[in-house]
Structure 1
């Protein structure tokens, strides 16, 4: 154990670099996933059959195929077909974004569909344009419902980043694996990884909880044990605030 931690301190610059790669893959993958989730989720509710069909095909394909295989396809197979080779980190970001974006699209679609029909009718009665109805009335209410599911997906994305090791990316998993190989301290190495990933996941959870409380305050929802009356009045407030 002492050998592993001594080497860990000695190789601290490499460990920091590996942690930075892991954070980059998580943040950039989450941003791409978020953009795709909203685009595909809103397209799923479009009146255009082509848009709905495109959304459904993309979502089902990337949800129905393995992230492991997707990573290998982007890194090994795509260069053979296109002649363009991406860096390991870029492959990870693209694969994570597409895979988790497909799951996130279902979150967006479900949250938007769960907004009471009366909210749509009230927004129409206020003569709001379709765009203003979406951004001022529907999405603020749906967003509150999306955050818990998005938090789970974000943590899952973080826990998927060790797959970058399979592409020889210099992420945290790769660095710790190399330290394990040099010291033979398997238990210590993987316990260290468990601890680091737990801390990162907990930090992300706290940030998302803050975001959720902020979104609830904008709607006038009590962040504690809210009553049915407050829940209903918040929906009314959302429509009224869009005038």
Structure 2
């Protein structure tokens, strides 16, 4: 315990970099997932083809290889070198965005067609019906899977040290090399990764319950602390006496 307390400032520095990678990668992945997911749900073949190319290409490339390409191959091709941290964020965001695009496409297509047809009958534009009717319902369906993808992205940041990023894994490696304490060094990293994951899980459950409450899918008052600590109930009906 004394060892971990003594090394805590170094661990926290590494954890901060890990959080930055997770936040940056998640933000980029979210934007790409929404753009290409919506394109993939359109009726016209061209936007669907663009979305399919992006999804199939970047789902088939390992995040680590893409990270190496951004850090080492891109400067040779373009003559411009990205910062190591930024290169890791771009690689993780592009890779996870491809998975997220399929989540968005499936959620948008799951919205009942009758509602879309009703919007057309009301003379709503594509943008209006997408923003006001389709996305609010699809959003609630996307969130559980998005939460899993964010956790996976956070864990994928552990390989960023291979391109020189001083993240939590890099700090654990440095501490192990300096002290020879392999078990304790990686135990500290393990604990911090777990804590970061729990914070992300809590945040995603909060978003899930907020989205479901707006759609009337959970009872009023079902967003307290204890409710957030347990998974959302399935099949709960509002206003039905038990």
SS state at 2:43 partner: coil
Aligned to 1:5: 4
Aligned to 2:106: 110
Q: TM-score, normalised by structure 2?
A: 0.88
Q: TM-score, normalised by structure 1?
A: 0.88
Aligned length: 226
- Tell me how large the CA RMSD over aligned residues is: 1.7
Asked whether the 8 Å contact 2:41–2:48 carries over to 1, the reply is yes
Pairing of 1:57-206 with structure 2 (within 5 A): 57-206=53-202
Q: Measure, in 1, the Cα distance between the counterparts of 2:164 and 2:48.
A: 38
Gaps of 5+ in 2: 220-231
Q: Measure, in 2, the Cα distance between the counterparts of 1:137 and 1:50.
A: 24
Deviations 1:9-39, CA, capped at 9 Å, x for gaps: 4xx1x43322211111100100000000000
Q: Measure, in 1, the Cα distance between the counterparts of 2:78 and 2:86.
A: 16
Aligned to 1:240: none
SS state at 1:222 partner: coil
Aligned to 2:50: 54
Q: Measure, in 2, the Cα distance between the counterparts of 1:77 and 1:43.
A: 30
Question: Which stretches of structure 1, 4 residues or more, deviate above 2 A after TM superposition?
Answer: 4-7, 14-17, 46-50, 223-230
Asked whether the 8 Å contact 2:30–2:100 carries over to 1, the reply is yes
1:43 is the counterpart of 2:39: yes
Deviations 1:57-105, CA, capped at 9 Å, x for gaps: 1111110111111011111111111101011100111001100000000
Asked whether the 8 Å contact 1:7–1:179 carries over to 2, the reply is no
Shift of 1:228: 8.1
Tell me which protein shows more helix as a share of its residues.
1
